Structure 1
Amino acid sequence: MQTSPAHAAHHNDREIETLEEFDATVSARGTLAGYRVQAVDLTDRTRELLATDTAGAVFLGCPMRENAAAKIRTDGALVFPPVPDLPFDPYRGHVYTPDELFASLDRGYEETPDALAYAWFQRTKADGDIHASMLRAVHDDSVSDALDELLCGARVVGVMGGHAMARGTDEYQGAARLGRALTRAGFTVATGGGPGAMEAANLGAYAAPYDDAMLEDACALLGKAPSFTPSITEWARSAFEVRARWPRGNTSVGIPTWFYGHEPPNAFASHLAKYFANATREDGLLARSNAGVVFLPGAAGTVQEIFDNATPNYYGSRGEPTPMVLVNRAHWTDHLPTWPLLKALARERSMESRIALVDRVEEVPEALERLSA
């Protein structure tokens, strides 16, 4: 059975994000005054719009008939019309799914909404067009709003690690076992949503309802396309093949970015909060990991994430420090001696009791519980 990543996902009760919510509100309340209607196709709701008070309402990217739009503007509502010829909806009310971003994969990755949004970003990011930059900002804010609604009430553990970790390796399988163990322990796994260690952790979360043999078989199948280079198409297709063979996967979250456009999202995160602004994405992933962050072996990017997370824990700027668990003693003490510096920073601070270094992924769930006590 697929479970929700949130124990009680909900949103502001004055936001309407589906046609069902629109119909229920009009029926029960008889008014839309003061409501925010977000990316709902109202083309077939002209009669309701003409007959309902919409004073002070805001309609964000809702297709509707011109006479309905004219009437609700007269009521005093604000209407932000859909933007034509965009490969994404800046006003979207929900995060993405892999099926949505990889639609048209049968025609090649270049034809997918994910690739088309990146191509649009490449064309517009350097030309200084205020309209394009506004659309990116509105989109990213809408995604943040949807992500907060999705994760309300969830115990979120972030899993950080490098994108270069190849399928078919022991390290990849270890990251997958970590995602599975965290999910079985009742946590919602959140990653950067890309390839490598991120995909592995999302795969592990997906595999949580199945036995050990499923994860081994899935890793073997994925190993036939070990990397997203040279072919994102083949890399992604093998993931969807795994999902088709084992369709009852558990949920998890990926938070990727079009900033790294060469790096596709992975298909095992059931919910993908994809951003244009990488800084918003990075801070958002760490800030939402309210039950702790696990750092698998990585390079410069993972080291940066360790200290991005350590800084608010050091100063207490997000409240109580959250647990930080570094995995692989040799990597974090000898190869990249990050642990000694983190330990020195934490000395005599409230975060001192919230950091741990472990050797094996199997030790992580217990370490998180211990650090949270």
Structure 2
Amino acid sequence: MGNPDEQGPVEEQYLGPVVRRRSQIKPGTTDQRLLDSEGDSEWVHTDPWRVMRIQSEFVEGFGALAELPPAISVFGSARTPEGTPEYEAGVAIGKALVEAGFAVITGGGPGAMAAANRGAREAKGTSVGLGIELPFEQGLNEHVDIGVNFRYFFVRKTMFVKYAQGFVVLPGGLGTLDELFEALTLVQTRKVTRFPIVLFGSAYWGGLVDWLRDTVIAQGKAASRDLHLFHVTDDITEAVTLVTKEVSG
């Protein structure tokens, strides 16, 4: 037998930037597959189609939020009960941020997020909720004036950072910690600059700060200067001043 590469020219198919040869060639053209209404619908679950969905989420998010005034993202637990000190602190922080000239962005859910949105709405400011598709999600809270729902966490995270000038982090669970450490990593690696992060509630966050200092930093996994990436306070006025001073300063 001769060398297969010497048996004449190789058949090729060009599909946009993709080249297919030999057994990988697909029948028809891209236009034919687009216009053909018959056949398997499995294509809507493929990775190339997901890329289009991801792109559309970025486009919708950018379009909805591009004209926001300066904003602060407020995070906290969806399980914070209404009427508790934590909830009331969220309301007060939302109001104070609006009075300082900022829109308020939250994850759009209940609990601490609803509290911050409520404070912003009651202060007649811009109240934004960025929701996420989850099996147990309850939808956007009633205090959201501009809401965008996302399928993908990473697209939503981009919106939190891109359209906010800082974070206020109320006591929260794994989702709150996820957003907090995402922001800390972006600041530490200088992917974003001048991005203040305020943790509200020293009793709640104190153990985490102690662990960062006494374990993570003590074992050389982070630098002591990383403790300066965030502030901890129990005072609402101070929280708002810290998160907005660095923005305007």
Deviations 1:118-177 (A, max 9, x none): xxxxxx99x8356973663354133122134232xx221110101111223222111111
Please name the residue that 1:144 is paired with: 61
Q: Which residue of 2 aligns with 1:21?
A: none
Structure showing the higher strand proportion among its residues: 2
Tell me the equivalent position of 2:200.
327
2:200 touches 2:234 (CA, 8 Å); kept in 1?
A: yes
- Taking the aligned partners of 1:306 and 1:138, their CA distance within structure 2 comes to 25
Aligned partner of 1:276 in structure 2 is 151
* Partner residue of 1:206 out of 121, 132, 149: 121
SS in 1 for 2:131: coil
1:260-284 CA-to-partner distances (Å, cap 9, x unmatched) read: 5533111212101211112211232
TM-score (normalizing by structure 2): 0.71
Distance verdict in 2 for CA 1:143–1:189, change over 3 Å = same
Please say if 1:311 is aligned against 2:214: no
For 2:149, what is the secondary structure of its paired residue?
coil
| CA 309–131 in structure 1, closer or farther in 2 if over 3 Å, else same | closer
Unmatched 5+ stretches in structure 1: 1-79, 81-123, 209-248
CA 261–287 in structure 1, closer or farther in 2 if over 3 Å, else same: farther
The one of 69, 75, 86 aligned to 1:171:
86
**Is the 1:339–1:357 contact (alpha carbons within 8 Å) kept by the matching residues of 2?**
no
Identity over aligned pairs, percent? 27
Counterpart CA distance in 2 for 1:263 and 1:304 is 20
- What does 1:1-373 correspond to in 2, within 5 Å? 128=45, 133=50, 136-151=53-68, 154-208=69-123, 249-289=124-164, 291-318=165-192, 320-334=193-207, 337-338=208-209, 341=212, 344=217, 345=222, 347-348=224-225, 352=228, 355-372=230-247, 373=249
Distance 1:303 1:148, change over 3 A: same
Q: Is the alpha carbon distance of 1:339 and 1:264 closer, same or farther for their aligned partners in structure 2, counting shifts above 3 Å?
A: farther
Give the unaligned 5+ runs of structure 2. Answer: 1-33, 35-40
Aligned to 2:12: none
Q: How many residues align?
A: 203
Residues 331-351 of structure 1 deviation map (CA, whole Å, 9 limit, x = unaligned)? 1013xx1465279546346x8
CA distance in 2, matches of 1:282, 1:339: 27
Q: Which has the larger radius of gyration?
A: 2
- Measured on the aligned residues, the alpha-carbon RMSD in Å equals 3.0
